[in-house]
């Protein structure tokens, strides 16, 4: 079954009198459980495509289906509910709430979903352990390294069992060793739980993790290839 289907997406942006093409008739299907990297230079369209998949921007035309929902036609409320239930986001900036502990940052999503305090605590601690943060649930973001904060962001993204996790340059602010650890965590979560990952990156070392590598340029997909994960970040 498909995790997401994008059909003929076009998106333009206006800068002064100039029209910038973000997506130029992009069509892509990603199956459940895939581990995909979107690659390309700055301005290639990979972040625009990721944002469209997550319902953060609306294409000028084309369609985006997640399950049976056509998300490009949803109203704001329905779109917010869909993102809450179906999509996990991991950004270059960790976007953690500084006054909340790691556990509380992870629990926040479940609190919005209406889960009980007991279930929130149990699930947050389980997922924090899964991403390698055992014993750190009560630490504030300021008491954690950048890599640890990004792992909290990953835990927050996956705790609601989303259909899809979208990650935009998730290792950009991390050193090579920490980036390796984070990508290993992604691979492990993909393997254990069949979570679908779509990761936008321009880093060849990160692309080596992908089972499917999609290269973009000027808003178009220029190649879409399966690959065996190879040599990774050292």
pTM of the full predicted structure?
0.89
Give the model's pLDDT for residue 214.
Answer: 95
Tens of pLDDT, residue by residue over 6-39, are 999 999 998 888 888 999 999 999 999 999 999 9
User: Of 184, 172, 165, nearest to 92 (Cα)?
Assistant: 172
Span 92-116, average pLDDT: 88
How far apart, in whole angstroms, are the C-alpha atoms of residue 71 and residue 61? 12
- Under the banding of pLDDT at 50, 70 and 90, the label for residue 233 is very low
pLDDT of 47 > 50? The answer is yes
- Under the banding of pLDDT at 50, 70 and 90, the label for residue 202 is confident
Span 206-224, average pLDDT: 93
CATH class of 34-59+75-226: alpha beta
How far apart, in whole angstroms, are the C-alpha atoms of residue 191 and residue 15? 42
pLDDT of 231 > 50? The answer is no
What DSSP designation does 57 have?
S
Tens of pLDDT, residue by residue over 153-167, are 989 988 888 889 999
Give the model's pLDDT for residue 230.
Answer: 60
pLDDT of 204 > 50? The answer is yes
- Under the banding of pLDDT at 50, 70 and 90, the label for residue 234 is very low
pLDDT of 227 > 50? The answer is yes
- Under the banding of pLDDT at 50, 70 and 90, the label for residue 174 is confident
Mean pLDDT, all residues of the chain: 89
What is the per-residue burial (b if ≥16 Cβ within 10 Å, else e) of 113-136?
eebeeeebbebbbebbebbbbeeb
3-state helix, strand, coil in the chain (%, to 5): 35, 30, 35
Span 48-57, average pLDDT: 94
- Under the banding of pLDDT at 50, 70 and 90, the label for residue 87 is very high
The pairing of strands 220-226 and 212-217 is: antiparallel
Span 210-225, average pLDDT: 94
């Amino acid at each position: 079954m498909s995790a997401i289907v994008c059909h003929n997406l076009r998106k333009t942006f206006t800068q002064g009198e100039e029209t910038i093409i973000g997506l130029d008739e992009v069509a892509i299907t990603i199956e459940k459980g895939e581990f995909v990297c979107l690659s390309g230079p700055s301005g290639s369209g990979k972040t625009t495509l990721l944002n469209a998949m997550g319902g953060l921007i609306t294409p000028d035309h084309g369609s985006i289906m997640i399950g049976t929902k056509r998300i490009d036609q949803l109203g704001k409320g329905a779109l917010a509910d869909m993102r809450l239930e179906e999509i996990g986001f991991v950004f270059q900036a960790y976007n953690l709430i500084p006054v909340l502990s790691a556990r509380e940052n992870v629990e926040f999503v479940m609190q919005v979903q209406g889960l009980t305090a007991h279930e929130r605590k149990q699930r947050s601690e389980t997922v924090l352990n899964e991403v390698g943060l055992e014993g750190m649930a009560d630490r504030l973001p300021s008491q954690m390294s950048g890599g640890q904060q990004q792992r909290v962001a990953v835990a927050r993204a996956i705790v609601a069992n989303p259909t899809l996790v979208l990650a935009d340059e998730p290792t950009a602010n991390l050193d090579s060793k920490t980036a390796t650890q984070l990508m290993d965590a992604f691979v492990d979560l993909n393997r254990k739980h069949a979570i679908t990952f779509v990761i936008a990156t321009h880093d060849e070392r990160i692309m080596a993790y992908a089972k499917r590598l999609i290269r973009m340029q000027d808003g178009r997909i220029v190649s879409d290839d399966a690959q065996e994960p190879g040599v990774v970040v050292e």
